[in-house]
Amino acid sequence: MAAAAVLPVAVFGCRPRVAGGVCFLEEQVVLHAAGAGCLRLHLEHKWHNFIPGTEKSRGVQALAVSPDRRFLAVSETVSEQPVLAVYELSAERARRRRALVAAELPARQVVSLAFSPNSRYLATATALPEALLTCWLWEKRQLTAALRLQDPGSGPCQVSFSPQDNTQVCITGNGFFKLFKFEGTLKQMNLQKGETENYLCHAWLSKEKVICGTDTGKLRLFETGELHWETSLEYRTPPRELEEDPATKEYKRSFDVSCGVASEDNGTQRDSLPQISALAAYSKGFACSPSPGVVLLFEKTKENEDYEEGQEIWLPQDLFRIEPKDSDRQDVTCICFSPSEETMVISTNKNQLYMFTMVSNKLIKEKTSYFAYLNFPLHSDSITGLDMCIWKPILATCSLDRSVRIWNYKTNTLELCKEYPEEAYTVSLHPTGLFCLVGFSDKLRFISLLYEDMHVFKEFAVRKCRECSFSNGGHLFAAVDGNEIQIYSSITFDNISNLKGHSGKIQHEVPAYGTVYTAVAVSHSGRMVYVGTSLGTIRAMKYPLTLTRDFKEYQAHAGTVTKMSVTSDDQFLLTASEDGCIFIWKVYDKEGGVLKGKEVQCSEEVLIMRSDIEEKSQAILDLQICVKDLQTESDYELHLKDMYCTGKIKALEESFTQEIDSLKAKHQILQAEKEKQELQHQHQLSELMNKQAREVQQIESESSQKLSVENEKYQELEVKSQRMQEAYERQLQNLEESKSTALKELREQYEEKLKEKSVLLEEAKENMRKQLQAHQEMEKQIYEDGDQEISEIKTKYEKQLLKEKESNTQLRGEIGVMNKRLNSLQKELENRNRDIEEMRLEQQKLQGIIKALEKDILALKTEIKERSDTVLDKEKHIYDLKMKNQELQNFKFVLSYKIEDFKKQIESRENDIKTMKGQIHEMEEELERFHKESTDLKLNITQLQQKLKASYHEMHRERQKKQDMETLIKRFKTDLHNCVGFIPDSRKMKAGIRELYTKYVQESDMVEAEEVDTDLQKQYMKQQEYHERNLAVLKKKMMKDQEMHQAAYMRIVQENVSLIKEINDLRQELKVANTQLQDLRASLRLKKKKKAIQDTASSSDLLSSPAILRLNPEMESEKIIEMQQLEIQYLRDQIQEKGQVLNCPSSVSFSQKSS
């Protein structure tokens, strides 16, 4: 087993073009495809949880989350075979529940996945050539139904279940939209009508409504399989592009031509038709993307139950890019909403994730809005460089997307990002984290990492530098230029020396077991080796290496691992890959504990330009002046308002006092009128009561008379009704007797008729039998005659068909020949046009090559002169070296003795350094103790401040109570004054006193309670004074502790500085000794080589040998110039020939027509 294990703690990257590639698990947790698995990301707390895929997986192709958000289904390809895996998401680490192996899948690639509403069934759609729709009972690994799609076109695009029905399945693709009923088998529910469309995506709006998007920008709403509503969307251009002038557009076109494939894709998108690339439904309607970089929100109308466009949301501009307006030209591949529908997240084809907070249209005045990054912009292409530093927890990456980024692997954030016009191949961070080296396709650049930007400080003429690195101390850096390694000083930027290859042998080789090792990183302790493979896996091995399979393998990336690095404390492993993802791994020991390494104190220093500081200071001064001006203006305005308000208050007080007096007078008048009206009402009531009594007596007498008359009428009517009943009974008896006699007569008549009819029926049956026999004989004869006629007609028509088929085959052959001719002519025309364009481009390239070659010729001539001078200087130098060699041999013995002395001194110094490190460790522990004490004091201060706040709140309440009591006393005085005025009238006096009692008795009780609370208030004041004294004492103690802490910190810093100076002095002495040794060895090698050359020159007479040609540099340079002149003449001849071809296109077209 390996000595250490790694676990991914953060992933920076996203896998593009995955079906259902982004979805919400909770309100703040998003899941998306990354590397060779999936990533759970918390939007607020920023924690990452990686779910690795199956072993030897090449990435996720489709994923789906169950409606209850408990299960995750993933489609992968392992050794060109599809694999379906279902994970349980309820645990902290996702656990695999079921895996549907390739033997059970009758297909090569799964395009789309979907769970049923009860999460029991899983529907899959496979790509061509199979084009299958399958349904799985995934918990039992049982394939319940499979159906091959007829006429699938270019294959299916999406499959989904109805959100409310477990038996309805919808599948769309190129040329078909189908609904199936799933009840053990799949039965189609709808029939396609009208023209076929290429349906790219769909979404369920309700149990029976499905919205579909096509590649021509159409939205079609189907209800129970029939077309209910349709609309076509236009290709949208960003609102910023409408305001551009033609000059910037021409610059953009030229920039797109020079940028290659990515810009050509953008151009095709700009000129193409609108297409609905993504759809998602929510409670108010649905969201769709008809054009690159935009999402439209449609909401349901109340009148017609149709949908209308509500809001337009665009991708934001990336300010770190060279062309910020190109950032919104990305295809939206997936849209999803959070469970509460407050946020929307999308993914694009450039590996980016964006989010948008949903707000109702009533609150937003503008129709257009903009997305924001989910976290930060990610790499959209293969990562070519990765490095970390010692002083800061940051790492630097560069990619083929022409960007350089600085990440913080402890806070999981992006600190800096900038795009350049050239591709970046390698990056190296300075140990301080303040500078970096980046190797671009044209130059090597030394870049300063500022607070908010990257500033190119120095450029070196090293093209296509694939590797570069700073030394451990940061005072040197090395860069690869072809087959050479150039070493520069990072202070003077001088080229100190160049290295060419190595002559050492490979000491040990370890088998790769079926893969290719593409990256290696060794821990600083020297006990572990981490290896990246071409399959994207990470292997952790012990060191020294063994020939056995003694390693742990981890599934991580979906592409080959390009770079790896281990942090200086061996706690983190950083990996990057061609899939554009960065993995940060935490290193653990065998038992699962964190490895204990050196505790590195991170620095927080940041570089900033002087111009930026001056601009910010000037802006601060301007703002301060503005604040002062605003304060004076506001003070003056407040003073004016106070004057105006005081005058207004006085006027209102006077008006209110006048109104109060007038209202009092009116009140007295109204009371007098009220008394008069009460007397009048009493008199009227007595009169009305008397009238009512009289009327009641009259009505009673009249009603008694009417009742007596009605009784007499009722008795007469009863007598009449008895007579009528007797007469009707007699008539009923007579009718019954006549009815019985008529029924008997009718029965006798109908019986006689039935007998006659039965006889007639028997005669008709015999006639029918005879007619049937005759009819059967006629049918036989007719069939025989018909068969003869049919056979004759068949023979005739078969002969005619054969003739027509022969003629058709002849016509088809002629048509095919004509079509081939037309196609060949069209292809020739297209080829000629392409050749003309290629010739023009080649002419431009050749002209550039000629200019470059002319420049090279001039440079070579100058180099020849310089080399001739250097040859003479070197000959002189060789003679001097011979003389020095003799002296150096004498010094060699002395230097070896001195080197031994230096080694002894270094060992003693290293022991001193160890003791000083121990002292530093003790000082750091003291610092930690001081920090703990300061935190405890801060907590005490915060508690006391909270108590003070509470006492202030209580003081405020007491003051309010006091004010309320004063207002209540004023009211009581006014009411008493009014009541005193009723002293002559005893009744009014009693009424007034009762009103005062009802109003103020309870409030007076409250006043007594408040008198009791004054003692409590005094106690609160005493406690406040006591806490203030404690605060003052604690502040003094805190100031003393801070002074002690600062003095200790300064002492530690000074000791560290002295130690670093001693270390640097020792390193310089070692370097001087090493350089002296190298000079001695070089002089000895030169002496031996010179003797060998002299021996060979005296013995050999061959002038054409390569060794003799190299000794004569003037002849060699003349031959090089002649060869380059011949190449230039040949290129000019080719340009003239191609120019003649371009000048006569009319003759070419004429010859094509004649042929």
For residue 183, give both structure tokens. Answer: 């009840």
CA distance 466 to 486: 13
pLDDT higher at 656 or 1112: 656
Find out whether 868 and 1153 touch, Cβ atoms under 8 Å: no
Q: Distance between the two ends of the chain, CA-based, in angstroms?
A: 76
Q: Percentage of the chain with pLDDT > 70?
A: 87
Share the mean pLDDT of the chain: 81
Q: What is the mean pLDDT of residues 266-280?
A: 70
Instruction: Summarize pLDDT for 998-1022 with one digit per residue, the tens.
Output: 877 764 455 454 555 666 677 777 7
Q: What is the mean pLDDT of residues 465-483?
A: 91
**pLDDT exceeds 90 at position 513:** no
Instruction: Summarize pLDDT for 56-76 with one digit per residue, the tens.
Output: 888 899 999 999 999 999 998
pLDDT higher at 110 or 1142: 110
Dihedral sign for Cα atoms in the order 590, 594, 598, 602: positive
Q: Which of 430, 344, 433, 434 is nearest to 393 (CA)?
A: 433
For residue 256, give both structure tokens. Answer: 């797109």
Q: What is the mean pLDDT of residues 395-416?
A: 93
Instruction: Summarize pLDDT for 792-803 with one digit per residue, the tens.
Output: 787 877 887 788
Q: What is the mean pLDDT of residues 870-893?
A: 78
User: Taking the CA of residue 698 as centre, how many other CA atoms within 13 Å lie in the half-sphere pointing to its CB?
Assistant: 5
Band of residue 1089 on the pLDDT scale cut at 50, 70, 90: low
CA distance 995 to 982: 13
Report in angstroms the alpha-carbon separations of 979 from 501, 554, 982.
Answer: 116, 95, 6
**pLDDT exceeds 50 at position 1100:** no
**pLDDT exceeds 80 at position 1073:** no
Find out whether 162 and 173 touch, Cβ atoms under 8 Å: no
Instruction: Summarize pLDDT for 702-715 with one digit per residue, the tens.
Output: 777 777 777 777 77
**pLDDT exceeds 70 at position 521:** yes
**pLDDT exceeds 70 at position 787:** yes
Instruction: Summarize pLDDT for 446-462 with one digit per residue, the tens.
Output: 999 998 889 999 999 99
Q: Percentage of the chain with pLDDT > 90?
A: 27
Residue type at 507 in one-letter notation: Q
pLDDT higher at 540 or 2: 540
**pLDDT exceeds 80 at position 192:** no
pLDDT value at residue 1093: 58
**pLDDT exceeds 80 at position 424:** yes
**pLDDT exceeds 90 at position 584:** yes
CA distance 22 to 14: 10
DSSP-assigned letters across all residues of 466-517: --EEE-SSSSEEEEEETTEEEEEETTT--EEEEEE---PPP------SSS-E
Report in angstroms the alpha-carbon separations of 114 from 137, 138, 165, 177, 221.
Answer: 12, 12, 13, 16, 21
pLDDT higher at 105 or 470: 470
Find out whether 542 and 2 touch, Cβ atoms under 8 Å: yes
For residue 874, give both structure tokens. Answer: 């070197």
Q: What is the dihedral of CA 150, 156, 158, 162, to 10 degrees?
A: 0
Is the whole model's pTM more than 0.85, yes or no?
no
pLDDT value at residue 1155: 38
Band of residue 3 on the pLDDT scale cut at 50, 70, 90: low
Band of residue 1091 on the pLDDT scale cut at 50, 70, 90: low
CA distance 535 to 545: 21
Instruction: Summarize pLDDT for 315-349 with one digit per residue, the tens.
Output: 988 777 777 666 768 899 999 999 999 999 999 99
Q: Show contacts of 142-147: CB within 8 Å, 24+ apart.
A: 143/104, 144/184, 145/182, 145/184, 145/185, 145/186, 146/106, 147/180, 147/186
**pLDDT exceeds 90 at position 531:** yes
pLDDT value at residue 105: 66
**pLDDT exceeds 80 at position 223:** yes
Q: Which of 468, 373, 335, 456 is nearest to 20 (CA)?
A: 335
Q: What is the mean pLDDT of residues 19-40?
A: 93
Number of H helices, E strands in the chain: 7, 49
pLDDT value at residue 254: 36
pLDDT higher at 740 or 242: 740
Q: What is the mean pLDDT of residues 564-571?
A: 90
Find out whether 191 and 222 touch, Cβ atoms under 8 Å: no
**pLDDT exceeds 60 at position 269:** no
**pLDDT exceeds 50 at position 55:** yes
Band of residue 529 on the pLDDT scale cut at 50, 70, 90: very high
Query: Of 42-51, 344-353, 354-363, which gets the smallest average pLDDT?
Result: 354-363
